Every structure is written in structure tokens, then in C-alpha cells.
């Protein structure tokens, strides 16, 4: 146990060094736990007990940490979806898109170890923490019944790790309490104990929801002192996790019979959050400006329910910024949104680009679109840079020839295969000739998702009549028209598209596509008749040429047309609905079993 925690702490220190950041912004979360201490010493001391709990937060999902690894992970994980492709050939995402790894060499199976490490830490805490040490007095404020609240935090974190396991790997063991009510801390050297079976994903998701019910009202819905307590789980996070877990449980991947009661439970969970939130003196709400939500104020932000850490860095900004923007530092531009993604944005009148009366003009393709398009991507003609620093200009991605190309098309270390770069998360205050760091937090739950969860679940349970109000709040924020009367199927397609737009590049698309089972029955050939925004295996881009300062747009077709093999996609069904269980774990604990299609031939 101590060895695992120490290794996790050592990895965190290395990561901090690589990305040159400071982790945490509160007294609670910025303590580094000393893993060399004995359990008796840790849990016999109030401060060390608190620091042990703090250390568990290092296991939370983090979509920012990968940007520290230029070679293999320095792009958005949406590069594993139809939303984007990665420019850098060595990025793991490209081979994952080709189904080119096995259970023995797949590079993203660290989620398995990170989640199990987190679960182990939680159970160690729950088993050893003492009310006599921590204190459990009834006091005013956030520290009321402190021991009870600490245990509720640990249980909620444990539920988050179980949920994350299901997302990536499907069926999972449930490591809660044993028959005597004692938290299960596995003996890593006990082969029989480690050789455990996995429970069906549906059961795990229900268990996660039940854990949320057990703690959601033991924790403050929102901490009164968020200067100190920012980043730690609260009651709102428990309500949010229950909403997401039951939404996933109700979806086709885990509800093959489409049991309506599952959707009703998911709808109720989202509405329970909204009802409880409305009763607060300081409720969660949509941030006033969609684009600024992701860079302006990641800590004092009423939309963010739970974030992972705080990275003070410009690494994310530079990895996303087009490569022509340069000074003492330069953009790398390695996340390339696809034309598939660009086309999913509606026109400002609420119509799809291929819908009658939309007003879409392929010769001026970015005009009069959903404002979130401009907030999310850099395209040819986008304006970026500090005017007061002489760095503001238009993004130039044109390519007429090898000797006549835009500054942002490509350079040796970065560029675009699709004609686009990711703007979301890039701070416009960055000065390239005198770079500074900015706070970035990885959003795990935010209020817009709760509204979209409610809309989707209500529609699936009872049709759209009572669902419009929730999604229309999200659309109103950016000035998009409310949805009119739609059939259940029409609204299903619109709400799925709304999630794609609103939650893009926040690690939702990968799981949404799978829980909806949208890969069933499709091939690269049979989806060619669909609009680009509905295609999942054929990736598209735009080639921009310029004549007399007038751009022309050629929306490229089949994979490889730009000399890029990375836009090819392979999805083997059912294999690629989940990642494999690490082969080493299956060999050590055969009862875990392997996910279908990932079995490794051990006969040689």
C-alpha cells in the first residue's frame, strides 16, 4: 500500500516539474503527503490525516496533465473522436484511432491503475481515520462534524473512481465494504484476494448512485468558504455524479432493453440537483460568457461544480495556439478540430447548415454561426493576439503552394491537417514575447452538463415537452434560438448535437458516442451518404487557397486527401467500445476476464 502511494506521489512531483506548475489553490489541496510515514503515525495525527485525504485528489481525472508530454499526449483527448485529429504523428491517439494497440502494449491503460490506487487510498482512509483524532463536533460553518464530512469525501471520491473505471473498461469490481462493513483494502501480495471478478457495469453504476445518495446531504452542497475549500468534493458534486452515472446506466450501452425506468431515474437525479441548487443562497449557474468560462476565472466560477487541481502554466495555451504565433515562445497547434465538428454547429437562426432556409454560404462558411464556433476553434481569418503588444492579427491557414502558404498552416513542430486549431482554453491575454502563466483547472462537473443531462433523460423517458426548458437555458446563454416543437427522435438528435457543441473537448464526446452505441452497424463506406457532421469514421478538413486576398474553401473528402493517414478511423465492434483490461492484470488475476476482442494469444 505504501509503495503504491509513494509511486503516485513521485509521479505527481515529476509531472509538476515537467509542466512547471503549482498544484492546488487551497490550504486543503496543496499539501504533499509524505508516503513514507506509517499508518499509525498518519492517522494518529489530525494534520497528517487531512493531508492523506488531500493526496487522494491527485487520482482524479485530469485532461490537462497530458499536455506536459509533447511527444505522446500533448493534445486533447477528443482526438480519439470525430471532433478532432492530432497533428503530431507520435501521439498515442492516432494509433488508438486505428485500433493498432493490444492489451499488452496499449498506452492509456494507466487509468486502470490510477483509479484502483485512488480506491485503495479511499478505503485505507475510511478504515483508519479516527473521530477522536480529527474531531467531530457540531460547529458552525464548513467544519461541522468534520470526521463525518471527511469520510463522506472519501466515499464520494471512491465512487468517482469506480465510475471512471466503468467509463474506460466497462464491468468493474466493486470495492466498498466487506460483509462486516469494513472498507476493503486488498493485500497486493495475496494472489487469491487479488483474483477478483468484475461486476456488470449497470450494477456498478447503480452502486455509484447509491454511494452518492449516502453522502450527498452529509457534505455542504457548496462550501461557505471556497477560498479555502475550492477543489474538494461537496454535496453538489455528489448530486452531479449521480446524475451522470444514472444517465450512463440508462443509455443503450448499459440498457440494451431500453428500460424506461432507468431514464426516469436519470431524469429525476438531474432534476434533484436543479431543485436543491435553486434552494441555495449562492446557486450554481451558467457563466455569463461561454468562452471566458474556460480561462477567465477557473476558481471563482459559479458554473464549475468540481475541478481537478489548478495548473498555473501556459503549456496548454501554447500546445493549442496556431504555430505562426511566435515570440520568445511559439504555438504548437497539435489539436486539429475536424470539418465534421465544424459542420455540427448550427447557423445563428438555429438551422443546420444543410437545412432549408439556413442561409449557409460555403464561400463564407463561418459567418452567422452559433457563437460557440468562434469561441471554440481557430479558423482562417480568426483574429487573435494582444493588440496592445503588437501581436494581434488574423489566423492564416491558406496553402497555395509550398512557397505560398499561410504562417499558421504548418511548420516543423506543429500545424494543421484539417485547417483548424482548438481555441477553447487558450487565454487571449497571453503575450508571446513576454509569456506569463495562467490558472487552468480541468472541469469534471459543470452546471451546463446537469441541464443537458436533464433534457436528454426527460426526452427519453417521456418525450421533449418538459425537456426544452433545460436545453434552452444553455442555448440562451449564447443567444441561440430556443428549440421549437420537435418529435422525440428529432429532439434526441438535437440534444446530442448540443452536448457535442457545448461540452466539446471536455472528455464527454468519447463516452457519449459509446454510451449511445453510435458505432453500431457503420462502416467507412456506408456512412459516406451522411452529412459530414454525422460521419464517425471518415474525417474531413478544409483546404484554403487565396487569390487577391480573397479566400476560397475546398472541403476535402475521403481520408488521406491531404496526405494525412491520421484521419483514418477504425472501429471494431464490440471491441472498441471499451479499452482492454491491462494484460498483466488479467494474467495476475484471471477472474477479471478480458473485454471482448482484446484477448492476447498466450500460446507462444
Residue 529 CB partners (closer than 8 Å, separation 6+): none
Residue 275 lies in a domain: no
pLDDT above 50 (res 4)? no
**What percent of the chain clears pLDDT 70, i.e. is strictly above it?**
92
For residue 300, the model assigns a pLDDT of: 86
Q: Which residues of 41-60 are buried (b: 16+ CB within 10 A; e: fewer)?
A: ebbeeeebbbbbbbbbbbbb
Shared-domain flag, residues 551 and 603: no
Q: Which domain holds residue 88?
A: 73-106+315-428+533-571
For residue 557, the model assigns a pLDDT of: 57
Shared-domain flag, residues 553 and 600: no
Q: CA angle, 287 as apex, 281 and 293 as ends, to 5°?
A: 135
Q: Are 37 and 1 in contact (CB under 8 A)?
A: no
Q: Are 201 and 164 in contact (CB under 8 A)?
A: no
Q: Are 206 and 265 in contact (CB under 8 A)?
A: no
Residue 518 lies in a domain: no
Lowest mean pLDDT among 62-71, 328-337, 415-424: 62-71
Shared-domain flag, residues 542 and 604: no
Q: Locate 184 and state its grid cell.
A: 476493503
pLDDT above 80 (res 3)? no
Q: Model's pTM, two decimal places?
A: 0.93
Average pLDDT over residues 184-193: 80
Shared-domain flag, residues 580 and 566: no
Bridge partners of 348?
none
Integer Cα distance of 470 and 467 in angstroms? 6
- Average per-residue pLDDT for the chain: 91
Shared-domain flag, residues 333 and 355: yes
Shared-domain flag, residues 585 and 540: no
Instruction: Let me know if 543 is exposed, middle or buried by CB neighbors in 10 A (0-12, 13-18, 19+).
Output: middle
Residue 554 lies in a domain: yes
Shared-domain flag, residues 320 and 353: yes
Integer Cα distance of 501 and 511 in angstroms? 15
Q: Are 236 and 222 in contact (CB under 8 A)?
A: yes
End-to-end, the C-alpha distance of the chain in Å comes to: 34
Q: Locate 496 and state its grid cell.
A: 446530442
For residue 99, the model assigns a pLDDT of: 96
Dihedral, 318, 324, 325, 328 alpha carbons, nearest 10: 80
Residue 301 CB partners (closer than 8 Å, separation 6+): 287, 293
pLDDT band at residue 72 using 50, 70 and 90 as cut-offs: very high
pLDDT band at residue 178 using 50, 70 and 90 as cut-offs: very high
Shared-domain flag, residues 394 and 353: yes
CA distances to 32, 42, 43, 184, 512 from 8, in Å: 11, 17, 20, 20, 29
Residue 519 lies in a domain: no
pLDDT above 60 (res 109)? yes
199 φ, ψ to 5°? Answer: -95, 150
Q: Are 441 and 565 in contact (CB under 8 A)?
A: no
Residue 411 lies in a domain: yes
pLDDT band at residue 558 using 50, 70 and 90 as cut-offs: very low
Q: Are 19 and 73 in contact (CB under 8 A)?
A: no
Q: Which residues of 115-143 are buried (b: 16+ CB within 10 A; e: fewer)?
A: bbbbbbbbbbbbebbeeebbebeeeeebe
538 φ, ψ to 5°? Answer: -95, 115
pLDDT band at residue 413 using 50, 70 and 90 as cut-offs: confident
Q: Are 441 and 312 in contact (CB under 8 A)?
A: no
Shared-domain flag, residues 394 and 331: yes
Residue 45 lies in a domain: no
Q: Are 336 and 420 in contact (CB under 8 A)?
A: yes
Average pLDDT over residues 337-359: 97
Task: Write the pLDDT tens digit of every residue in 197-227.
Answer: 999 999 999 999 999 999 999 999 999 999 8
CA distances to 352, 376, 384, 431 from 370, in Å: 10, 11, 19, 28
For residue 34, the model assigns a pLDDT of: 66
pLDDT above 60 (res 598)? yes
Q: Are 107 and 19 in contact (CB under 8 A)?
A: no
Q: Are strands 421-422 and 414-415 parallel, antiparallel or unpaired?
A: unpaired
Angle between helices 2-19 and 46-56 (to 10 degrees): 70
What counts of helices (H) and strands (E) characterise the chain?
A: 20, 14
For residue 1, the model assigns a pLDDT of: 30
pLDDT above 50 (res 387)? yes
Give the closest residue to 250 by CA, choosing from 229, 269, 222. Answer: 269
For residue 562, the model assigns a pLDDT of: 46
Q: Are 276 and 239 in contact (CB under 8 A)?
A: yes
- Better pLDDT: 411 or 452: 452
pLDDT band at residue 324 using 50, 70 and 90 as cut-offs: very high
Give the closest residue to 457 by CA, choosing from 234, 192, 231, 273. Answer: 273
Shared-domain flag, residues 598 and 547: no
Lowest mean pLDDT among 163-167, 471-475, 600-604: 600-604
Residue 143 lies in a domain: no
pLDDT above 50 (res 566)? yes
Task: Write the pLDDT tens digit of every residue in 249-291.
Answer: 999 999 999 999 999 999 999 999 999 999 999 999 999 999 9
Task: Write the pLDDT tens digit of every residue in 7-47.
Answer: 333 333 333 333 333 333 344 454 455 667 788 899 999 99
Angle between helices 46-56 and 146-169 (to 10 degrees): 20
Residue 330 lies in a domain: yes
pLDDT band at residue 118 using 50, 70 and 90 as cut-offs: very high
Task: Write the pLDDT tens digit of every residue in 459-510.
Answer: 999 999 999 999 999 999 999 999 989 999 999 999 999 999 999 999 999 9
In the chain, how many domains are there? 2
For residue 309, the model assigns a pLDDT of: 75
For residue 245, the model assigns a pLDDT of: 98
Amino acid at each position: 500500500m505504501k509503495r503504491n502511494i509513494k509511486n503516485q506521489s513521485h509521479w505527481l512531483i515529476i509531472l509538476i516539474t515537467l509542466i512547471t506548475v503549482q498544484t492546488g489553490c487551497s490550504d486543503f489541496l496543496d499539501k504533499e503527503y509524505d508516503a513514507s510515514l506509517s499508518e499509525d503515525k498518519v492517522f494518529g495525527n489530525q494534520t497528517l490525516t487531512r493531508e492523506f485525504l488531500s493526496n487522494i485528489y491527485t487520482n482524479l481525472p485530469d485532461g490537462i496533465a497530458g499536455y506536459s508530454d509533447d511527444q505522446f499526449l500533448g493534445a486533447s483527448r477528443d482526438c480519439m473522436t470525430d471532433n478532432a485529429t492530432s497533428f503530431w504523428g507520435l501521439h498515442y491517439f492516432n494509433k488508438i484511432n486505428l485500433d493498432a494497440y493490444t492489451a499488452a502494449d496499449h498506452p492509456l491503460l494507466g487509468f486502470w491503475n490510477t483509479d484502483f490506487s485512488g480506491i485503495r487510498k479511499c478505503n485505507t482512509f475510511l478504515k483508519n481515520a479516527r473521530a477522536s483524532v480529527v474531531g467531530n463536533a457540531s460547529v458552525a460553518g464548513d467544519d461541522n462534524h468534520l470526521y463525518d464530512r471527511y469520510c463522506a469525501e472519501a466515499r464520494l471520491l471512491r465512487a468517482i473512481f469506480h465510475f471512471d473505471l466503468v467509463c474506460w473498461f466497462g464491468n468493474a469490481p466493486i470495492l466498498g465494504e466487506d460483509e462486516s462493513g469494513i472498507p476493503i483494502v486488498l493485500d497486493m501480495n495475496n494472489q487469491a484476494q487479488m483474483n477478483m471478478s468484475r461486476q456488470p457495469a449497470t450494477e456498478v453504476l447503480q452502486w455509484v448512485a447509491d454511494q452518492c445518495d449516502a453522502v450527498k446531504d452529509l457534505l455542504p452542497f457548496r462550501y461557505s468558504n471556497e477560498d479555502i475549500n475550492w477543489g474538494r468534493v461537496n454535496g453538489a458534486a455528489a448530486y452531479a455524479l449521480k446524475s451522470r452515472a444514472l444517465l450512463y446506466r440508462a443509455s443503450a450501452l448499459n440498457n440494451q432493453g431500453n428500460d424506461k425506468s432507468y431514464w426516469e431515474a436519470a431524469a429525476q437525479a438531474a432534476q434533484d440537483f436543479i431543485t436543491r441548487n435553486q434552494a441555495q443562497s449562492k446557486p450554481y449557474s451558467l457563466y455569463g460568457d461561454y468562452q471566458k468560462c474556460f480561462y477567465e476565472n477557473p476558481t471563482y466560477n459559479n458554473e464549475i461544480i468540481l475541478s481537478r487541481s489548478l495548473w498555473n502554466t501556459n503549456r496548454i495555451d501554447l500546445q493549442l495556439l496556431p504555430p505562426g504565433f511566435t515570440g520568445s515562445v511559439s504555438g504548437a497547434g497539435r489539436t486539429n478540430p475536424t470539418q465534421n465538428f465544424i459542420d455540427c454547429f448550427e447557423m445563428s437562426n438555429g438551422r443546420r447548415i444543410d437545412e432549408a432556409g439556413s442561409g449557409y454560404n460555403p464561400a463564407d462558411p463561418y459567418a452567422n454561426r452559433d457563437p460557440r464556433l468562434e469561441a471554440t476553434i481557430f479558423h482562417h481569418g480568426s483574429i487573435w493576439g494582444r493588440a496592445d503588444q503588437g501581436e494581434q492579427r488574423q489566423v492564416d491557414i491558406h496553402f497555395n503552394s509550398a512557397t505560398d502558404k499561410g504562417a499558421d498552416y504548418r511548420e516543423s513542430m506543429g500545424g494543421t491537417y484539417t485547417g483548424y486549431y482548438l481555441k477553447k482554453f487558450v487565454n487571449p491575454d497571453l503575450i508571446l514575447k513576454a509569456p506569463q502563466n495562467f490558472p487552468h483547472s480541468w472541469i469534471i462537473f459543470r452546471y451546463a452538463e446537469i441541464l443537458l443531462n436533464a433534457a436528454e433523460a426527460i426526452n427519453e423517458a417521456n418525450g421533449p415537452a418538459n425537456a426544452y426548458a433545460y436545453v434552452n437555458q444553455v442555448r440562451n446563454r449564447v443567444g441561440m434560438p430556443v428549440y421549437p416543437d420537435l418529435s422525440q427522435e428529432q429532439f434526441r438528435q438535437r440534444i446530442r448535437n448540443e452536448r457535442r457543441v457545448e461540452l466539446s473537448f471536455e472528455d464527454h464526446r468519447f463516452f457519449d458516442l459509446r454510451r449511445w452505441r453510435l458505432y453500431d452497424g457503420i462502416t467507412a463506406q456506408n456512412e459516406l451518404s451522411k452529412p459530414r457532421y454525422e460521419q464517425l469514421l471518415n474525417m474531413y478538413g478544409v483546404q484554403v487557397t487565396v487569390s487577391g486576398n480573397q479566400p476560397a474553401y475546398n472541403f476535402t473528402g475521403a481520408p488521406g486527401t491531404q496526405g494525412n493517414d491520421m484521419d483514418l478511423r477504425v472501429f471494431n465492434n464490440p471491441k472498441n467500445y471499451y479499452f482492454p483490461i491491462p494484460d498483466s492484470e488479467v494474467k495476475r488475476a484471471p477472474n477479471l476476464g478480458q473485454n471482448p476482442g482484446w484477448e492476447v494469444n498466450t500460446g507462444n
